[in-house]
Each structure stands twice: as C-alpha cells, then as structure tokens.
Amino acid sequence: MTDPRIFDLPEADMAWCPGCGDFKILEALKKALADMDMAPEDVVVVSGIGQAAKTPHFMKCNFLNGLHGRALSHATGVKAANPKLTVVAIGGDGDMYGEGGNHFLHTVRRNPDIANFVYNNMVYGLTKGQASPTSPRGMVTPVQTRGVSSEPVNPLALAIVQGATFVARAFSGDVDHTAETMKAAIKHRGYALVDVFQPCVSFNKINTFKWFKDHTYRLGDEHDSSNRSAALALAMETERFPLGILYREEGRPTFEDSLGIYEKDDTPLHRRSPDVDKVRETIDSMA
Amino acid sequence: MASGKDLSVVICGGAGYGVQTVEDILAKVLKRSGYHVFATREYMSRVRGGNNSTEIRISSTPVDGMVDEIDLLVVLSPGVRENIRNRITKNTVIAADRSSVGEEFEKTDGALFDVALGEMAKEAGGAVYANVIAAGLVLGITDASTDQAEEYFRSRFGKKGDKVVDENRSACGKGLELGRDMAEKFPDLAPPEKDDTSSRRVMNGVQAVSLGAIAGGCDFVTAYPMSPATGVLAFAAQNASEFGLAVEQVEDEISAINMAVGASYAGASPMVTTSGGGFSLMYEGFSLAGVAETPLVAHLAQRPGPATGMATRTEQGDLNLAVHAGHGEFPRLVLAPGTIEEAYSLTARAFEIAHRYQVQSIVMTDQYLLNTFRDVDPDDLTAAKPDKCLVTSGPGYRRYEDVPNGVSPRSVPGLGKEIVGCDSHEHDEEGHVFEDFDLRVRMSDKRFRKGELLKEDFVPADIRGPENWTRLVLCWGSTGPIVSEALKDLELSDTALMRIRQIWPVAEDVVAAVERADELIFVEGNHDGQLENLIRSVTGRSAQGHLRNYCGLQFSVEQVRMGLSEILG
C-alpha cells in the first residue's frame, strides 16, 4: 500500500470554498489510487469545467483538463490511444449530466474502460448557484426564480437502463466508503459510474451535509449487485438514496476491445509505427 | 464533338439504377484497356429515384476536369434533369430506350439512338442488368478489351457464383454489340487512341484522402456521418484492421473532435472527417486542440451551406470557416488539394506538419473532388515518413516548456516517467491553470512562434505559365485543374495560373507572385470571393476580375474558358 501523499501537489492553489465536499472526494481519490499501488505517471485524470473539474490541478498525476461537458469524450480517446493507462474522468453534475449529457448517454453504451466520478452537489457552484440537472424540483435560484420546474436527472437509473456495467453512489462525508467504491470502479473493466453526493456549502442550502446524512443509507450485503432489476429499483428510490455498488456486470467487451486493434498486440498507439508499405500495396492493387 | 483526343460520356439514371456500377465498370475496364479515364458524379439527396449523372472522359492523354460537352448521353431512366438537358447539342448522341423515356428527347438537338434497354435487360436475366448493358454499350464504342471486361466481372462477382458472372457477362456482351452498331452509325463518336496506362492506378478523392492520411501516420479516425465526408470514415472503418486504425462513429461531431484531442494527448495521430455543418460544431474542440497544442487533422469536405444548404452538392464556401476556425487566437495550417495526387500528398503533409509543430491542420476538399476518380501515376503520390516527434520525458520534464522556436518537447503519458499535463485554460509550463497576465502573453507568444514556422515550412503554390507573365489567374482546391485546362485552350502569352495549395498561413511565394502581377483574376466556387478577400487582406492587392460559381455544381472547363474570355475582353 502506497502513501496517498505521492499524489499531493504542494504548490497547488486550492480554489474550492472552505468546507466544500470536494476536499473529501479528493482525499478519497488519492487514497483509492494509493491503496491500489498506482503511481502518478500511471494515472490520467481527465476533466471538463467546473469546480469538480479542477481536481487534476490539485493533485499530482497526468491530466487533461479539457472542455465543459466533454471529459468523457476526451477520456474515451485517451483510453483508446493507450489502454495501459488508468483513466479517470471527473466532473460535476452540470458538467457530466448537463453540458455532457449526450456524451454521458453514449459513453455508457460504448463501455470504455474508464472510471467516471461525478461530484454531485445538485447545484452549479462555479457560476454561483443556478440549478443543475440534478437540482430538486422547486429549488429557487437566481435564475430559476419560480423554482426548478424540470424533473431532476436520475443518473444511476439512466446509466443502468442504457447498459452501464458498473453503477455506484457514494457520499463525500464518508471518505473510506467513497475510496472503497472508487477502487472497485477503477478495478472494474468497462465504464464505471460513481455518483458522489457532496454538499455545496455556498449555494445549496437545501441539500446540506445533514440533508445527505439523513437521506442516504448504506447498501447491505443482501443486495445482489448482479441483479439489474434490483439495481434499477434501488436507483429509483428517492426518499432515501442507497450508497454503494448498485450494479456490476463483468465480462462485457470494452470499447477498446471492440476497436479490434489491440486483439493481438496491446502496444499503445504512440509506440506503433504505421505500416507505410501496406499503403503502397493497397495502391498497387487498385485498377 | 470532343477535340479528337477524348470522348465525353454522360450516364444518367435515378438513384438505384446502378449509375455507380457503370462508373466502376467503365473506369476499371477502360483503364486496363489502355485509356486514360476521368469521371465525376453529381447526385441528388435521395436514396431512390431522382436523376443522377456521372460524366466519364475517355482519353488518350491524362485529363483532369469536368466539361459541359457531351458526346454520348446514356439514359437509364426517364426524367433527365435540366442541368444535363442544357448540355445536349447537335453533336450529342443520345442512347435511350424510347419505350421508357417517351417523347423526352423529341425536342432536343441530339440524335437519338433507340436501345431497348428494358427488353434486353430482361433477356439477360432481369431489369437490374440495364446498367451493365449500358456499360457494355460504352465499351463497344471504344476499343476496350473484352478480356478485361470478362476479368472484371469474374473478379467482382465471382464470389456470388458462376450464374451471376455469366449473366453480367452476357448483359455486357449485348451492350458491346449495341455499341459497335452505334459506332458505325455515328462515326464521329470514335474513341481516342490508347496509351500505355499499365503502371497507372484509378483512384477517387475519398481513397486519396484516406490513403494519404494513413501514409501520413493517421491511426485514429472519429466522425459523425455527413455528406460528402462520410466516404473517408467508411474507408477508414473498412480498412481499420489492415492498417491498425482506431475508428469510431461517434454520437456527434463534438464528441468526434474531443475524442480525437484526448487520443492525440495520449499519443495517437488522429483525424476527424466532416463537412461544414459538422466542422462548425467542432470549433470548440478545435480551439482546445489549439491551446493544448495537441496535433490533429481535420478533413473538411465542403458542400454548399449555410446550414444544410445543398447536402450532396459542391462548393468552395468554407475557406473562411477553416481559416477562422475556433475562438481565440492560435496558429493552424489550412491546405487545399486540387488533384487526386494532391489529395493524397497534402493529407499526408497535414499530419507531418501537425506533428512537427504541434498544430492543427485542416485539409479542404469538396464533393466534386471526393467523387472524382482518375488514373494517376503512383509515383506522384508522395509522403514523408510519419514521425510523431515525441520525446521520452525525463526529470524536470515540462510539457509546455517555453523554448525559442515555440515547439515544446512533446511527450505523452506512459512515455517516460514524468507527468504530462494538458489544459484548455491558459496554463503554465506544466499545464496547470495559473491566472497571470504575463504568463498569458508568454504562452500566447510561444504558440504564435510556431505559426511563423508554418510560413517558412510551407507548401508552395503551383505556378504555371509563360515566363514573362504579367497577369495571374488565382484559384484553390478542386477548381484548379479545370482552370488549367481552360487556360491551355485560351493560349494566353501573358497569363500564368497560380493554384494556392497552402491557404493559411499565406506563404511568401504567394505574396511575391501577387506583388509581381500587373493584374489578378480569381476563379473560385463561392459567392463572396473568399480567397480573393484573404489575399487582399494579406497583400493589400485588389483583383481586376473574378469568376465565381455557387450554383451547387462544379465549374466546367467551357464555363471557365468563356468566363475568362469575357473578363479579358
């Protein structure tokens, strides 16, 4: 077991508000990676835009901090170019489910071997408190002045219905459980979603630390995570939200598998040389 | 009648009548028989019906341009549209089944040769063979080798069994007889002389772009299907295992380019292929590639816009879109091949430069070029050995090191032991967000020093004409060979043609030629004169005349010849 401090970036200029749930998620992430004996150069953290998406600037590892909503596309590209890398895609609920909603839907279907951690605080933090796709109905904000009128996105149900092979939820208030869930997601071969509840101390006065405490519960051993219908039923629960691995399916081919180019040769693309002679042969075989 | 050196054949028919098959048979059999062939297709945005056409020029010397003149019009189904009817002259011979087309050609100038295509097709084995009979008819007029025709059907349909091969061969044979009858009846339809074309290869624009990309080191292709760019995606997908390409049809163009940026960051050599509407969706990701300095190539296959415009037609309306692609400022390379050979070479070059300077290249083609095929000399398909220009990261490695020429040493995750960062924000040398105004200026200057290198390491323009030229005709992309043929016909002793192949950044050779010229004439396939405006903005020189076409079809040689004659008085 490695010391999580190898992922520390001492000179980082932390931009999160004091008391933000993101700190605990970052702590859990470093712990998860260290527990798995990973080194900073083995890992690529890919993110979009938002407070959560700043994560790779606050830790030591390879990183691609790209565009709002596009982290899953970036991450899929990274993994496809080099399946040997451990690829983690990080963003907030607005980034992943709003701006990136279409990519979320199709990344689930594509099943790349990446772990997707969504810091879900049910509000837009970076732009100061507008509704996010997971904001509860009725929440009043500077923009949704009559209260949120749309139904919140149910990311877990959506992922399960679209065929995700790993679907889980965690709460930033429980670092150890979050880290364990993250480890399982990283180890999972295929797309793995962990929706991490987290309070926004500045802008969400409804879904507070206490609210999450009161409205979540840990899944017990009796839940069979290979049972898709049972997982979906749990994902549909909205009175109290279950924490843990709702669904896990092993053995489905990943996106990288389906590309076919790694079947006989697992060399990453950057170490391969194109076979230019074959281009000549192809031209010569033409009419 | 064609000037004696080539025969212009147009085949017309609704979608589903197999015009493309006729094209394929003729291209291959005629080329293997020793003719030079050129063909280009125009088609409607529909899967069945309508009326599409392909023009095939059969020649004793290589030809590379579309002409209006039709020596032989072969009609597969009624409803030939005005764009073809307008081109029928008293010299045009029309081969059509009167029982099917009725009075359609009664009032045209061309001479009708009634062929019972429908009846004969039934005899040959079914209505589907009408197109093969038509192909045979064209072969019968020429001196094409019947052995080559047999060989073609064996190789194309052999897998489907002897019956299919025999039916095709017999249909083609019926056509051949018809063609010989016609050749006797219309002696002016005589085909050109043969040549030795054995070392030449028939290639279309789609194949040229795709193979050029692979020769340039492309190993990753993402796209959302969009005419006319889809062919390149299909070629990549069909040849993925042969060439070790990662290929994905993604949910939208936004994902296509962002996946490509991710792949490039991790060491792939990606290409996205799209048309104007799709490329506008890619702007955000293109800007990301710019600030992140991740090499990538965008193949931008033009069609008329705005928005959906004319989905299956051609135009050169996206020059501004390419030159100004993205938000903010960053250097990029824009190349515009004009020929099949250049579609190969410049696409490969786009990869070479993208990696050498860690920039983004745009290769601009269009529907006309992609759907044109021609016999080419394989030796003219040139490409440098692919090189991703990567370094192994060592201690103290910083991805965005501020080096004198602006080209920071590029490593990728897993190549060396150090961290590789990549950011959409303005960043420090390690790639971390650091909001500092001096850093912003330093990093922006670093990126733009690479832009200077693109001006120095440029693709020269193709300038041809008499040594003492004073007038310069300028064009870009697929109109080039057409303007070239038109100018050859005009035999002007004071006029040279400059085909600009590197659109952006505008290089010294273009500036020098423009400054030398007394008179500038632009020929381009758009309404606004986008190249003309670009050259004026760079050189301050205005044009003395221009010829523009934005109807959705490519210029013809005659159109350019007449247009230039009018401008020159």
How do residues B470-506 score in pLDDT, each as one tens digit?
999 999 999 999 999 999 999 999 999 999 999 999 9
User: Is residue B1's pLDDT more than 60?
Assistant: no
Question: Which among B217, B258, B431 has the least Cβ separation from residue A73?
Answer: B258
Q: What is the pLDDT of residue B4?
A: 52
Instruction: Please list every residue in chain A whose beta carbon sits closer than 8 Å to the beta carbon of residue B414.
Output: 41-42, 82, 84-85, 268, 270
User: Cα–Cα distance between B353 and B331 in angstroms, integer?
Assistant: 12
Percent of chain A with pLDDT over 70: 100
Burial class (CB in 10 A: 0-12, 13-18, 19+), B61: exposed
- With 0-12 / 13-18 / 19 or more C-beta atoms within 10 angstroms meaning exposed / middle / buried, residue B450 is buried
Q: What is the pLDDT of residues B262-302, one digit of tens each?
A: 999 999 999 999 999 999 999 999 999 999 999 999 999 99
A residues 22-41 lying closer than 8 A (beta carbon) to B? 40-41
- Return the pLDDT at B2: 38
Q: How far is A239 from chain B (nearest CA, A)?
A: 34
A287: chain B residues, CB-CB within 8 Å: 27-28, 31-32, 201-202
Residues B511-535 have pLDDT tens digits of 999 999 999 999 999 999 999 999 9
Percent of chain B scoring above 90 in pLDDT: 93
Q: Which residue has the tokens 């219905």?
A: A161
Torsion angle of the four alpha carbons B350, B354, B359, B362, in this order, in degrees rounded to the nearest 10: 20
pLDDT tens digits, B65-99:
999 999 999 999 999 999 999 999 999 999 999 99
Mean pLDDT of B308-313: 96
- pLDDT over 90 at B190, yes or no: no
**Residues in contact with A142: Cβ distance below 8 Å, sequence separation at least 6, in sequence order:** A128, A129, A130
Residue B241 forms contact with A (CB below 8 Å): yes
Contact: B211, A279; criterion CB under 8 Å? yes
Could you tell me the pTM of the whole model?
Answer: 0.97
Mean residue pLDDT across chain A: 96
Residue B423: which of B452, B398, B404, B448 has the closest Cα? B398
What is the predicted pLDDT for the residue at B5? 73
Please report the residues numbered 154 through 193 in chain A whose beta carbons come closer than 8 angstroms to any beta carbon of chain B.
Answer: none
* Residues in chain A closer than 8 A to B220 (CB atoms): 77, 80-81, 269
| Alpha-carbon distances of B315 from A278, B261, B306, B559, rounded to whole Å | 33, 28, 11, 15
Mean pLDDT, residues A247-273: 96
Helices B530-539 and B508-516, packing angle to 10 deg: 90
Q: Which of A115-119, B181-185, B218-222 has the weakest average pLDDT?
A: B181-185
Q: Which residue of A has its CA nearest to B30?
A: A287
Locate tokens 């929440």: which residue? A139
Q: pLDDT at position B3, please?
A: 46
Q: What is the pLDDT of residues B249-273, one digit of tens each?
A: 999 999 999 999 999 999 999 999 9
How sure is the predictor about B434, in pLDDT bands with cuts at 50, 70 and 90?
confident
Which chain B residue shows the shortest CA-CA distance from A58?
B432
Summarised one tens digit per residue, pLDDT across range A135-169 is 999 999 999 999 999 999 999 999 999 999 999 99
A233 vs B: CB within 8 A:
no
pLDDT tens readout for residues B152-175: 999 999 999 999 999 999 999 999
User: What is the percent of chain B with per-residue pLDDT over 70, rounded to a whole number?
Assistant: 99
Q: Name the band, by pLDDT with cuts 50, 70 and 90, for residue B48.
A: confident
Tell me if chain B has a CB within 8 Å of the CB of A10. no
